Chain A
């Protein structure tokens, strides 16, 4: 038999079906309920903010890759995800140009400046949000109750609690009929998406459980209402979608517990004792910084290691 021309590579010769685009697009899909709820509560303006952020993020990624002469990978879904997540952290009446600027910063300073996907130390969407909070503090803290064009200005439940001691009822918090940013109002939609991602194996339950659990326990310890603190603000969105970002969270199982619990500690300290009503943003960015260190000190025990 004559020798055919054969492909030669090192083993293994079979691979799992999952790819990066598949993971990213699945996460994007799982955010659709939250995005729809945002549009339902805040109207067309919410839709425009989401659209602006997604389109600007993808375009920014394209420009970076074009200028640097790299392969264009805008279809891998990661830039869409950054845009989507950033949009969901923005207030419903933010001027669109500010949303666009935030997206440019998220992709540029949050991701591409480090070398693109996989190399960024911080969650890109939150880098974008941190920039917007610093640059446009008034616009970024102007909240409205849901209700379309005639929306009335309102404080967020956390701010109401912090400044005036007014509690919001659980049901409103759960469904999202409250003041807040686009995606952080409806806890139900976020939890549904988050559970789907845990089921798919794209999110390790240790991170949200560690994060939310710590917040609940600590608020109870300090005599606050744990359920209110779980449902209010961006905790659900942050806990299921941002703290769990694969690139910026630890790679060890023990590390993910420490990471989640650490973020919960920081968040509770900010909410209860800090100057801001909300602490999701900084709790995540600060823990992102600790990720390499956590990886280093939580190496799993190798098979056969200790029992010598």
Chain B
């Protein structure tokens, strides 16, 4: 099999066998959901319902006037118990609509098929996607409709579906590709039509040969669509790495994928698009991998948005011994939570529980300038130089060393034999550089 790839990167232990063979199962219906109004990049939504209102599945309960935003829908039917600020993710806060389920899951009247793909215009598809509240489900949660609105003057010729799933432990995209291949391809065709391109790729790492096979079969006879096997290497699923691996193009510094003629979407996002068109179902549930050696019975579950993380842990058999860390997402980029009583959001691809042993914190040693961080950085920065500059508050120098091009993949921290938290320092410095830029304007 000919595989494509990007330069540099790392090979962490993947630990995907914990869940890669487990079929997607519907999670138990939650008795209550907490649906945050801030689940995406961009402006948070304003709630459209108040305490005491009755809501149905798929009913819009939050929206925003801003362009960069995505509406939010009820994932269960029932009564709004409260609208208040709650803790979300790993320490954030957001206004949330709390719904007590009536157990009926009654569909809202707006949830109905949107018609045949051939009869829909590009503009129609983009509106359906916006109204369905679809955002990037790989974890970045950028509103999909915004991605599909190509800025004036840019020409795009390629749509790429990201099925790399390069984060260790996570297997939801893998399962989605295996079990919903037809929906993935349909979603890709809809996304291609939405931006008017005829070339579509599905990039999949070669540790998922069964998914490559199933999707290649699903794509036979589809003009312009190609499955691209990718070398299993982190961060193969990074947007820039994926574009370079598949098309050989580079996204210019500070630019968008559209500057390289591409738009990238996750395979699970494509399935959400399919559901929005075929069933009219907005984004109210998503697949989540609950995994790690700190979980008794690791699972891939389809979860209603707003379900508590602690409920998922219980459904996966509970903690296996004393938990060390609970990570929302993958181990490379996911934040570690201090509170497991937080809701699953549109971007929650995984709940990873590390045992106390696996979660040992590392004591940083002096840098021996081995330059492994330089050798693995997928965007060719000098992480150790940037980290030192950040520690010494040399922000102008950091900007000069292109800190803003850092994709925060964490490969530098992973590989460092001195266990220095390089990406942590770089992230801090990057935030400071951005803040100073805003001040200057």
Q: Shortest beta-carbon distance, A125 to chain B, in Å?
A: 15
| C-alpha gap A220/B323 in the complex (Å) | 65
A12-B414 contact, Cβ under 8 Å, with A7-B325, A304-B379: yes
A14-B384 contact, Cβ under 8 Å, with A9-B361, A303-B405: no
Instruction: Name the A residues within 8 Å of B381 (CB-CB).
Output: 300, 302
Please list 5 pairs of residues, one from A and one from B, whose beta carbons are closer than 8 Å in the complex, sorted by A's number: A19-B365, A20-B417, A252-B382, A300-B374, A303-B244
9-24 of chain A: CB within 8 A of chain B: 9-16, 18-20, 22-23
B1 touches A (CB below 8 Å): no
A68 touches B (CB below 8 Å): no
Q: Hey, what's the 0/1 contact readout for A288-308 against B, CB within 8 Å counting as 1?
A: 000000010001111111011
Which residue of chain A is the closest to B329 with respect to CB atoms? A11
402-431 of chain B: CB within 8 A of chain A: 402, 405, 410, 413-419, 421, 423-424, 427
Whether B366 lies near A116 (C-beta < 8 A) is yes
Whether B340 lies near A4 (C-beta < 8 A) is yes
Q: Shortest beta-carbon distance, B402 to chain A, in Å?
A: 4
Of B10, B13, B333, B356, the contact of A11 (CB 8 Å cutoff): B333
| C-alpha gap A10/B13 in the complex (Å) | 19
B113 touches A (CB below 8 Å): no
Of A6, A119, A204, A304, the contact of B323 (CB 8 Å cutoff): A6
Give chain B's interface residues, CB within 8 Å of chain A: 10, 12-13, 90, 168, 240, 244, 250-255, 310-311, 313-314, 318-319, 322-327, 331-341, 352, 354, 356, 358-359, 361-362, 365-372, 374-375, 378-382, 384-385, 401-402, 405, 410, 413-419, 421, 423-424, 427
Whether A8 lies near B90 (C-beta < 8 A) is yes
Q: Is the interface of A mostly helix, strand, loop or mixed?
A: loop
Q: Shortest beta-carbon distance, A254 to chain B, in Å?
A: 11
Instruction: Name the A residues within 8 Å of B372 (CB-CB).
Output: 201
249-274 of chain A: CB within 8 A of chain B: 249-253
Which residue of chain B is the closest to A13 with respect to CB atoms? B331
Q: Shortest beta-carbon distance, A20 to chain B, in Å?
A: 5
Whether B378 lies near A6 (C-beta < 8 A) is no
A303-B414 contact, Cβ under 8 Å, with A7-B324, A13-B325: no
Whether A13 lies near B334 (C-beta < 8 A) is yes
78-129 of chain A: CB within 8 A of chain B: 116-119
Whether B336 lies near A4 (C-beta < 8 A) is no
Instruction: Name the B residues within 8 Å of A204 (CB-CB).
Output: 371
| C-alpha gap A23/B367 in the complex (Å) | 13
Of A1, A10, A201, the contact of B310 (CB 8 Å cutoff): A1
Instruction: Name the B residues within 8 Å of A23 (CB-CB).
Output: 368, 370, 417
Whether A14 lies near B417 (C-beta < 8 A) is no
| C-alpha gap A1/B427 in the complex (Å) | 33
Give 20 new A-B contacts, CB below 8 A, not counting A11-B335, A11-B423, A307-B252: A1-B311, A1-B318, A4-B340, A7-B324, A9-B325, A11-B332, A11-B333, A16-B415, A18-B415, A117-B365, A117-B366, A117-B368, A247-B368, A252-B371, A252-B374, A299-B401, A302-B405, A303-B240, A303-B380, A305-B405
Which residue of chain A is the closest to B241 with respect to CB atoms? A303
Instruction: Name the B residues within 8 Å of A167 (CB-CB).
Output: none
Whether A300 lies near B334 (C-beta < 8 A) is no
Instruction: Name the B residues within 8 Å of A63 (CB-CB).
Output: none
Instruction: Name the A residues within 8 Å of B311 (CB-CB).
Output: 1
| C-alpha gap A253/B373 in the complex (Å) | 12
Q: Is the interface of B mostly helix, strand, loop or mixed?
A: loop
Whether B253 lies near A302 (C-beta < 8 A) is yes
A3 touches B (CB below 8 Å): yes
Whether A247 lies near B369 (C-beta < 8 A) is yes
Interface hub of A76, A295, A299, A304 (most chain B Cβ within 10 A)? A304
Which residue of chain A is the closest to B337 with respect to CB atoms? A6
| C-alpha gap A8/B359 in the complex (Å) | 9
Q: Shortest beta-carbon distance, B164 to chain A, in Å?
A: 17
Instruction: Name the A residues within 8 Å of B334 (CB-CB).
Output: 11, 13
Q: Shortest beta-carbon distance, A232 to chain B, in Å?
A: 30
Instruction: Name the B residues within 8 Å of A16 (CB-CB).
Output: 10, 12, 414-417
Whether A308 lies near B367 (C-beta < 8 A) is no
| C-alpha gap A269/B145 in the complex (Å) | 66
A246 touches B (CB below 8 Å): yes
Whether A19 lies near B419 (C-beta < 8 A) is yes
Instruction: Name the B residues within 8 Å of A19 (CB-CB).
Output: 365, 417-419
Whether B374 lies near A304 (C-beta < 8 A) is no
Q: Shortest beta-carbon distance, B321 to chain A, in Å?
A: 11
Whether A15 lies near B370 (C-beta < 8 A) is no
| C-alpha gap A251/B381 in the complex (Å) | 11
Whether B380 lies near A301 (C-beta < 8 A) is yes
Instruction: Name the A residues within 8 Å of B240 (CB-CB).
Output: 303-304
Q: Shortest beta-carbon distance, B124 to chain A, in Å?
A: 34
Instruction: Name the A residues within 8 Å of B416 (CB-CB).
Output: 15-16
Whether A305 lies near B402 (C-beta < 8 A) is yes
Of A6, A251, A303, the contact of B324 (CB 8 Å cutoff): A6
Q: Shortest beta-carbon distance, B112 to chain A, in Å?
A: 38
Which residue of chain A is the closest to B354 with respect to CB atoms? A13
Which residue of chain A is the closest to B10 with respect to CB atoms? A16
A12-B331 contact, Cβ under 8 Å, with A118-B369, A119-B366, A299-B382: yes
Instruction: Name the B residues within 8 Å of A295 (CB-CB).
Output: 382, 385
Whether B336 lies near A1 (C-beta < 8 A) is no
Whether A1 lies near B331 (C-beta < 8 A) is no
Q: Shortest beta-carbon distance, B424 to chain A, in Å?
A: 5
Instruction: Name the A residues within 8 Å of B421 (CB-CB).
Output: 10
| C-alpha gap A303/B378 in the complex (Å) | 8
Q: Shortest beta-carbon distance, A183 to chain B, in Å?
A: 22
Whether B325 lies near A6 (C-beta < 8 A) is yes
Whether B323 lies near A4 (C-beta < 8 A) is yes
Whether B362 lies near A7 (C-beta < 8 A) is no
Interface hub of A4, A11, A12, A252 (most chain B Cβ within 10 A)? A12
Whether A303 lies near B250 (C-beta < 8 A) is yes
Whether A305 lies near B414 (C-beta < 8 A) is no
Whether A3 lies near B339 (C-beta < 8 A) is yes
Whether B414 lies near A1 (C-beta < 8 A) is no
Of A15, A251, A304, the contact of B414 (CB 8 Å cutoff): A15
| C-alpha gap A307/B405 in the complex (Å) | 14
Instruction: Name the B residues within 8 Å of A9 (CB-CB).
Output: 325, 336, 361
43-82 of chain A: CB within 8 A of chain B: 73, 76
